[in-house]
Amino acid sequence: MKFSISPAPLAEQKKEALVVFCQGGEILLPSGSAGLRKQLAALLKNSAFKGEPGQVAQLPLNGKQVLLTGIGAAKYFHNGLLEQAAAAAIKAGRAAGLKTFAMASTLTLEGVSETDYQLLAGRGAAWGTYEYATFKTSAKKSAAATLTFAGPVEDRGVIKDAEAQGAALVGTADLANMPGNKATPTAIADWAKTMAKENGLTCKVMGETELAKKGCGGILSVASGGAEEARMIILKHKGTDPKAKPIVLVGKTLTFDSGGISLKPGKGMEWMRYDKSGGMAVLTAMQMIARMNVEVPVVGILCAAENMPGSKATRPGDIVTAYKGKTVEVCNTDAEGRLALMDALGLAVDMKPRAIVDIATLTGAVIMALGGSAAAVLGNQPQIVNELIDAGLTAGERLWQLPIFKDYSDNMKSDFADLSNISKTPGAGTATAAAFLQEFVPEDIPWAHIDIAGTAWLESPKPHQAPGATLFGARTLAQWVASQD
């Protein structure tokens, strides 16, 4: 989606559709829009539209279409609703055959700055153009869409950032939605190489031979039951201060998770293509970071493998050795993500980073705790956790902190190895998984873990997107990294 800026007010824009946000019954327009507000209020008198989240009303006005889109009541508002409302409006407009859109460049919304509004609304509009039709043989390519921000814009760079971030989301979404037979570890590595070249990043891919030489026994054990070889994909953004310590982002990239020998139930297993969502968030964030050309160096690591129950698969009770030498008893092969992540975290530590954040669809327990409304964040230092929560609130992705008590770490000890990959006692699955990962990061390196198992995927359609990958976490990571400059 191409963005532009026009100094003319929204009512004067000669576009097919005007996008107008509503907070409940309040029409959100900038000052100087009294005439347009009055016309819309008259149209709404006999309408069922109440400005609720996800609600879109298409109304004819002066030869154009107005797309009223709701963000809900003020007391329940969070930034994610604004981005979703923009996406829902564009999605509805596209379904009606509209191609050219305009929205106000500013609006008054408590707690949302002008630049935050432009980034959220623009990024959401771009996301609203996305549709996954790769394997639909009858699908026709949709015409390109445009969005004009109508009115004064103080910082035009924000509009460019919104366009770039929207393009990164849309550009990665097909890969994120692809099934395991198409988005293999090798295919993802090839995609990452091409993306890196296009965005000024460097890309190194470690195959099984190099991983074995390094002693990365965790990811190799995960991949041992399948025909697909594991890949460790390392992307680097040099930054404008190459002497600075890098931030490292690590993403779990399980291209398909059958559970291995500890086989998952068959019902719903087709959705396990989503287990690569952490890596997809990192891929997307790295594109955003590169296009914004942030000052700090950033490294993105994707630990890519598939977990299958083949004749060479890791068995429950097997002991594997992680990079750096710690031993792990694999008590359940369906707790495989942490085995791949422990090697990636070890490689991240070697880079002497200023901070490490890993992101993963790691536990079903987080869905029980938080559902699909928020991701869990846990870490070894309060500052990095608080920074990520704040970045998420600004970026429209809600994070909720869970603790890592010493009890949880104690429960990950094994009678036969240094660690077990599951807890000795039931409960607190998200926290015990994080406690396991914490064992691979020195205390003096700020580290946080984000569990997106409940937020990374939609199984049923929403007004702002069809079923599939949400790329949750990419927006937060890009926001947080940019704040570190």
Write out the catalytic residue numbers: 264, 338
- Do 420 and 413 form a contact (C-beta atoms < 8 A)? yes
Determine phi and psi for 200, rounding to 5 degrees.
Answer: 75, 20
- Those residues whose C-beta lies under 8 Å from the C-beta of residue 266, and which sit 6 or more positions away, are none
**How many CA within 13 A on the CB side of residue 96?**
20
d(CA 482, CA 479): 5
The verdict on whether residue 415 carries a ligand-binding annotation is: no
| Structural contact between residues 384 and 410, judged by C-beta atoms closer than 8 angstroms | no
26 is in an annotated binding site: no
Cα 127 from Cα 172, distance rounded (Å): 11
CA quadruple 366, 380, 446, 471: dihedral, nearest 10: 0
Residue among 418, 188, 419 at smallest CA distance from 303: 188
CA dist 281 to 67, 223, 361, 471, Å? 30, 21, 11, 5
| Structural contact between residues 323 and 208, judged by C-beta atoms closer than 8 angstroms | no
What gap in Å lies between CA 330 and CA 364, rounded to an integer? Answer: 18
Cβ contacts of residue 9 below 8 Å, gap of 6+? 30, 32, 33, 104, 150, 151
C-beta separation of 121 from 105 below 8 A: no
Asked whether the beta carbons of 314 and 225 are under 8 A apart, the reply is yes
252 annotated as ligand-binding? yes
336 marked among binding-site residues: yes
Alpha-carbon gap, residue 7 to 105, rounded angstroms: 9
Q: Are 230 and 241 in contact (CB under 8 A)?
A: no
Distance of CA 123 to the CA centre of its chain: 13
Residues at the binding site are: 252, 257, 275, 334, 336
Residues at the binding site for Mn(2+) are: 252, 257, 275, 334, 336
